[in-house]
């Protein structure tokens, strides 16, 4: 079982979304929000588009049943800084968690890291992210819970509809009788 940052992110938002995504029932291709994010990530720092800084990394856990994987868009190896660009117009906790996940993976692989930086081109701001001891424990606990949910035969229940309005799975989950 591969667990990546997307699943970690979805885990915090909605277990059902995470379960479906893991089983390749994907809706992201229908979402303009996702497409916009992709464009902003690709186009915001044209001078930095150096493919060499992309980094794929993985970490098998004890019994090797679970492998943590990450695709980092920009890792500045010299300074040990992980960069992540977000289209969001507001800072979100999930962004921090994603970078901490990257830092955790790098550290466990024996890579020298200093900290992470979230870039918000729309806000013209950046946010510095560090990985503390408490964060490490939290990541490890989440991964255990993610594994449990993903191993369920049944798809988890949906959230209250009020939380679903902007989700790309909204129609999938809520279409019922006309």
Query: Where on the chain is the footprint of other proteins (CB under 8 A)?
Result: 23-26, 29-30, 154-155, 170-172, 174-178
Alpha-carbon distances, residue 67 vs 20, 155, 163, 167 (angstroms): 19, 22, 30, 27
Q: Output the smallest distance, CB 84 to other proteins, in A.
A: 26
**How far apart, in whole angstroms, are the C-alpha atoms of residue 101 and residue 117?**
13
Q: At its nearest, how many Å lie between other proteins and the CB of residue 14?
A: 14
Closest CB to other proteins among 43 and 140?
43
Nearer to other proteins, 20 or 139 (CB): 20
Q: Which is nearer to other proteins, 23 or 79 (CB)?
A: 23
Query: Shortest approach of other proteins to residue 23 CB, angstroms?
Result: 4
Q: Which is nearer to other proteins, 29 or 124 (CB)?
A: 29
Instruction: State in angstroms the smallest separation of the CB of 121 from other proteins.
Output: 23
Beta bridge partners of 56: 71
Name the nearest CA neighbour of 78 among 45, 53, 98.
53
Q: How far is CA 152 from the centre of its chain?
A: 21
CB neighbour list of residue 43: distance below 8 Å, 6 or more residues apart: none
């Amino acid at each position: 079982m591969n667990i990546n940052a997307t699943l970690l992110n979805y885990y915090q938002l909605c277990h059902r979304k995470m379960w479906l995504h893991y089983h390749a029932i994907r809706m992201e291709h229908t979402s303009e929000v996702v497409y916009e994010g992709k464009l902003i990530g690709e186009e915001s720092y044209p001078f930095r588009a150096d493919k060499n800084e992309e980094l794929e990394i993985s970490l098998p856990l004890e019994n090797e049943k679970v492998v943590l994987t990450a695709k980092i868009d920009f890792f500045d190896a010299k300074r040990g800084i992980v960069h992540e660009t977000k289209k969001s117009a507001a800072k979100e906790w999930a962004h921090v968690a994603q970078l901490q996940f990257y830092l955790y993976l790098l550290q466990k692989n024996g890579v020298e890291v200093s900290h992470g930086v979230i870039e918000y081109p729309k806000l013209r701001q950046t946010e510095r992210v560090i990985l503390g001891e408490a964060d490490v424990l939290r990541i490890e606990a989440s991964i255990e819970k993610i594994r449990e949910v993903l191993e369920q035969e049944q798809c988890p229940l949906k959230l209250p509809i009020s939380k679903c309005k902007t989700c790309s799975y909204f129609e999938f989950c809520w279409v019922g009788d006309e």
